């Protein structure tokens, strides 16, 4: 129940930022991409466990929202890379800070639950 509440909270946070949960995950995937170049569409599809056409549609909608932009790879024109716009970077930074704080709260709740459910920690009167 606690994890489901967190997921719902996360969806609500994305909605308040005028993003869908999938767009939020897209921004996180781009921001967290390792290496000096922005991720290619193929990598985005892999990160988000999407078919390539679904990733293209997601990027289309995120681009229309002004949070990402496409750019051709400088060495291979067949490769399209996706990077955050200034707006997208600001949104993912704000959402990430809020999520980290909420995850800290969730960790405290889960730790309490684990302590209560460990053998020997339960109230014998129950």
Residues with Cβ within 8 Å of residue 43, at least 6 apart in sequence: 33
Task: Tell me if 122 is assigned to some domain.
Answer: no
Distance of alpha carbon 31 from alpha carbon 126, whole angstroms: 48
Task: Tell me if 126 is assigned to some domain.
Answer: no
Task: Tell me if 27 is assigned to some domain.
Answer: yes
| CATH of residue 45 | 1.10.10.10
Q: One digit per residue, pLDDT tens: the chain, 126 residues?
A: 778 889 999 999 999 999 999 999 999 999 999 989 999 999 999 999 999 999 999 999 999 999 999 999 999 999 999 999 999 999 999 999 999 999 998 888 788 878 877 777 655 554
Task: Tell me if 46 is assigned to some domain.
Answer: yes
Number of domains comprising the chain: 1
Task: Tell me if 124 is assigned to some domain.
Answer: no
pTM: 0.85
Kindly state the helix (H) or strand (E) to which residue 69 belongs, with its residue range: strand 68-72
Task: Tell me if 105 is assigned to some domain.
Answer: yes
Domain that holds residue 36: 2-117
| 71, HSE (Cβ side, Cα atoms, 13 Å) | 12
Task: Tell me if 79 is assigned to some domain.
Answer: yes
Question: For residue 122, what are the CA distances in angstroms to 73, 106, 107?
Answer: 59, 21, 20
Task: Tell me if 61 is assigned to some domain.
Answer: yes
């Amino acid at each position: 129940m606690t994890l489901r509440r967190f997921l719902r909270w996360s969806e609500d946070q994305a909605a308040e930022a005028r993003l869908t949960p999938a767009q939020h995950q897209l921004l996180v995937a781009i921001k967290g991409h390792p290496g000096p170049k922005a991720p290619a569409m193929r990598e985005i599809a892999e990160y988000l466990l999407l078919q390539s056409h679904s990733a293209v549609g997601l990027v289309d909608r995120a681009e229309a929202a002004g949070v990402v932009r496409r750019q051709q790879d400088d060495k291979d024109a067949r490769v399209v890379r996706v990077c955050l716009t200034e707006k997208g970077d600001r949104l993912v930074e704000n959402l990430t800070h809020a999520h980290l704080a909420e995850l800290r709260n969730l960790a405290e709740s889960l730790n309490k639950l684990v302590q209560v459910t460990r053998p020997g920690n339960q109230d014998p009167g129950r």
